[in-house]
Amino acid sequence: MIFWQNHCPKLFPWNMIFWRFMSGKISLCCIFRTVILLISGSRKTLKKRKMNTIVSGNINKALFVDRDGVINREKDYVCRVEDFEFIAGVMEALKKVAVLGYKIIVISNQAGIARGYYSEEDFHRITEWMRGEFRKKGVEVTDVYYDPTHPEYGTGKYKRVSARRKPAPGMILDAVRDHRINLQQSALVGDKLTDIEAGRRAGVKHLFLVRTGHPFRDEEVPAGVKIVEDLREVAEKLKNIE
């Protein structure tokens, strides 16, 4: 009995149980069942507290940004600097977003790698160039996440279903873990409904669909998603959210 008093002091009146057992009013089997239920409930409570601690520890807000069609002009499988064309106003817009306290995180499907059109090394080179161009304008891109797979048209190791490829939320969830992102204070901007779906699945609160990239019909856009012209309008709307 001393063991249970030391380990579960506030879960149940152990003194009363002990005396009821000694007087024959409660069976040993009943005591064991009670102990098991209490321990099980304690474990669930501890697990819930741990999860709440993790969530409450996510203190940063982010703007998740698709690349092609949002940052640069939509072209077929951009992998060279000479083919990379920044959309007008992108630099200024993301600088305003950064001033508002948002981390800038790029999330991009890169099916061109899966199809064999260019390599991961090619993607890393153009990514570092892009980040350098932003840096020249005073914009720090916090991180860039990409998925190089395609479930149908991929080749070799790249032909598979991926939990990171949009519309799956994996890249966003990786960023949440890596940068302690609070999704309820964050936003996502894309040019395709698959971008929006990834944000919705991850739990991003503010979702924006831009007209600068892939064409879409307004009636197809889910309720709650804000349709905007470009990143400049996103920056203005985020300012009003503040």
Give the residue numbers marked as catalytic: 66, 68
Q: Do the beta carbons of residue 83 and residue 225 sit within 8 Å?
A: no
Q: Given the DSSP bridges, would you call strands 187-190 and 61-65 parallel, antiparallel or unpaired?
A: parallel
Cα distance between residue 191 and residue 214, in whole Å: 6
**Helical segments of 76-192, H only:** 90-99, 111-114, 120-136, 170-179
Cα distance between residue 83 and residue 214, in whole Å: 17
**Helical segments of the chain, H only:** 2-7, 14-22, 28-56, 90-99, 111-114, 120-136, 170-179, 193-202, 231-241
